Amino acid sequence: MNANTSRQNAAAWEEGAQLFDRTTRDLPPGRHQFHKERMMAQIHETRQAEQTGNDRGARQTTPARTRRFGLPRPAITLPAMAATVAVAIGAVVVTSGGEDRQGGLATGSALTTTVGVASSEGVPQLLDEIALAAADGKHPVAGPGQYIYIESKSAGTYVRTVNDKSSVVSDALHTRQVWMSPDGTKGWLIDPAVNDSPEGETLSLPDEQGNTPQADLNSPSYDYLTKLTTDPDKLLAKIYKETKGQGNTPDQQAFTTIGDLLGESYPPGELYSALFKTAAKIPGVVVVDDAVDAAGRHGVAVARLDETSGQREEWIFDKKTHVFLGDRTVQVKGTSGEGGLIKPGTVLGTSAIMKRAIVDGIKETPSQAG
């Protein structure tokens, strides 16, 4: 999804872009847009805090430096809390402390999970079943004047450094709500990880600098997706061509690109089914018998390990209906992050799709639709 930059000035974006370029070497591929939003929100928050500190004439602590590594989607339902909260989600544990905040959210101990066993057996059959289920499902068409509404639960993990001491922490599980017009030029975002305001902020284009980014595979609009080929071989060739040089390997980036389309976008019916047939053609795809999304729902995962980072991206599906539930990224080999602090079993990011619908207006939810 395209993030609105109207609240950031040109200097902030230049600074942010430089920081982003340095940190994305450690990010799971394809999660850059989400973390760009969060990074810019953090820069904005840090500058406000520094200004407040300067006005008061003294700062008691060193401002926290953050380096983001996981998705929450790419992108993770609780508001920021003033009390300590512990949320157990299957094998995933999220603990947040009210006095420890980043980006409007309480943070706590890193999310962890038992690393599921992966197997290459049965991958084509499972993806074929998922593709058939996707083709049989209801898939309303978005029209002019309408909006695609996606509501998810998510949480992300990162290395935070305070007073030269680094630790791995995770955001509190929270709700993210996105509205986007079919052409991608109008939208709204409510996400406490990005913006402290409960009202959220506009995603409408152009921004204050007059920029209107063109939709592409990494930032697609619904209208853009309607024009993509549904032939698996041609679609995969297009993905490889247009993501060349991104990610750690072409195959991993292709897998991540498809995963991003499954999450916070709304592929038309035929394309939605074709994405799974396309994924079956990517080398190294495996099945994980048990995985848990951000809402605590267990399912079977289609996954791929990034051998460079040791992180495994998992798409999680209901075991019976094969409906897409969400995704997560797990450190399964080696270590990552500053000083190798992120160990195997760490959930770098987790997301669960709760609602995906066509509505008639910004900030309208499916329950409000007539």
Q: Is residue 368 part of a domain?
A: no
Q: Is residue 153 part of a domain?
A: yes
CA distances 2 to 70, 260, 304, Å, are: 19, 13, 26
Give CA–CA dist 191/4, Å, rounded. 13
pLDDT at 353: 98
Name the nearest CA neighbour of 76 among 116, 34, 109, 118.
34
Which distant-in-sequence residues (6+ apart) come within 8 Å of 353 by Cβ?
A: 150, 151, 152, 263, 324, 325, 326
pLDDT at 25: 37
Give CA–CA dist 182/226, Å, rounded. 10
Q: Is residue 367 part of a domain?
A: no
Q: Is residue 364 part of a domain?
A: no
Whether the CB-CB separation of 34 and 191 falls below 8 Å is answered with no
Domain that holds residue 347: 10-359
Q: Is residue 155 part of a domain?
A: yes
Name the nearest CA neighbour of 339 among 171, 168, 102.
168
Whether the CB-CB separation of 358 and 147 falls below 8 Å is answered with yes
Scan for tokens 């230049």, then name that residue: 14
Residue 330 identity (one-letter amino acid): V
Q: Is residue 369 part of a domain?
A: no
Which distant-in-sequence residues (6+ apart) come within 8 Å of 60 by Cβ?
A: none
Tens place of pLDDT per residue across the chain (370 aa): 433 333 333 344 344 444 444 344 344 433 444 444 444 444 434 444 444 444 333 333 333 333 333 333 332 222 222 222 222 222 222 333 333 444 568 889 999 999 999 999 999 999 999 999 999 878 899 999 999 999 999 999 999 999 989 999 999 999 999 999 999 999 999 999 888 889 999 999 886 778 788 899 999 999 999 999 999 999 999 999 999 999 999 999 999 999 999 998 999 999 999 999 999 999 999 999 999 999 999 999 999 999 999 999 999 999 999 999 999 999 999 999 888 999 999 999 999 999 999 999 999 999 865 4
Q: Is the pTM higher than 0.85? A: no
Q: Is residue 279 part of a domain?
A: yes
Q: Is residue 260 part of a domain?
A: yes
Determine phi and psi for 164, rounding to 5 degrees.
65, 15
Q: How many domains does one find in the chain?
A: 1
